[in-house]
Every structure is written in structure tokens, then in C-alpha cells.
Amino acid sequence: MKIAVVCLGNICRSPMAEVVLRDRLDGAKRLGLRFGQAGLDDVELVSAGTGGWHTGEKMDRRAAATLLEAGYDPERHRARQWPVGDPETYDLVLAMDADNLADLAGQAPESGLRMFRDFDPEGPGDVPDPYYGGAEGFREVLSMVERTSDAIVASVAAARPGS
């Protein structure tokens, strides 16, 4: 299974989601009994931006600091532009907001194109862009990303054969 998380510049929201979702997927793999034979070993995960102006850059320093403070490792991330490889090979493409979703229309498999927060137990909507705000916005995004990532992993595991 291939999953992509997409925002505007790939330096704040989508890389935060990639780091947390990867952490949750790795945790689910380690707790394999919790998900039965969910087959999470073969999940590939990337993040990207619809714009390419940050390609090759590290994650925004405030996003990275928020992740570090919460115990995650943001250092591997380098910004990429969508599409990453062949868009048709993705099973799930998760847009961080409605503008990203509109930008992805026709550039991602329609059957797998969703809003990231469609999986949020607190309800759907946009993941707000914290770029022009302060630290609180990044903490708010992290909170949304953590609870939604838990729900995404549970959904992926439930949909896998043998789960």
C-alpha cells in the first residue's frame, strides 16, 4: 500500500503528518498482535507539496522543534513536490486542506483522494496552516495529526487482508 500526505509547501503540515504517521505505522508493526495480521509491513509513506519552491529544504524549524519536543525525529525530511513518482500507484492521497484537495484533483487517483481529517475522530475539516502563526499553531497541528494518524493506522489495518 502507498500513502501520500500533501500540503502546500511540504515544510509544515504534511511533513509533520509523515513523521507522526510513520511513527504510528512502525508502532503498529511492533504491536502486530493488536492489529492481527494487518500486513502493515508493506505500507509506503511519503509527503509532498503542491508547490515546489521548498524542494530539497528541511522542514520548517518551528515544525521540527514541535516534533522534537514531542519525541519525534524530524531530521530525515526533505521537501518534495507532488507528484512523487507515478500518482496512479498511490492507494491513498491525503490532502491537508480543501485548497490542496482541489490542486490534487486530476493528479491523484480519484478513488484514493481524501482529506487527511476525514479520518479525524473529532470530525473532518482542514488542517490549518501554522506557517504564519506562532508555536501554538504548530502544537494544534501536531495534536490533530496525532489523533488522526492513530485513526488512519486503525483504518488501514482493518482494511488489510487477514485483519
Record the pTM. Answer: 0.92
7 as an active site residue: the answer is yes
- Listed in sequence order, the residues at least 6 apart from 115 whose beta carbon sits closer than 8 Å to its beta carbon are 94, 95, 96, 97, 98, 101, 124, 125, 126
Instruction: Name the catalytic one among 23, 103, 129, 150.
Output: 129
- Phi then psi dihedrals of residue 56, to 5 deg: 90, -10
pLDDT at 37: 45
pLDDT at 162: 63
List, for the chain, all residue ranges whose pLDDT scores fall below the cut of 70: 30-40, 161-163
- Tell me the C-alpha distance between 2 and 148, whole Å: 17
13 as an active site residue: the answer is yes
pLDDT at 34: 47
Burial class (CB in 10 A: 0-12, 13-18, 19+), 30: exposed
80 as an active site residue: the answer is no
Instruction: Name the catalytic one among 13, 24, 80, 117.
Output: 13
- Phi then psi dihedrals of residue 120, to 5 deg: -70, 125
> 83: left (phi > 0), else alpha (psi -120 to 50), else beta?
beta
pLDDT at 32: 60
pLDDT at 27: 82
Instruction: Name the catalytic one among 7, 62, 117, 120.
Output: 7
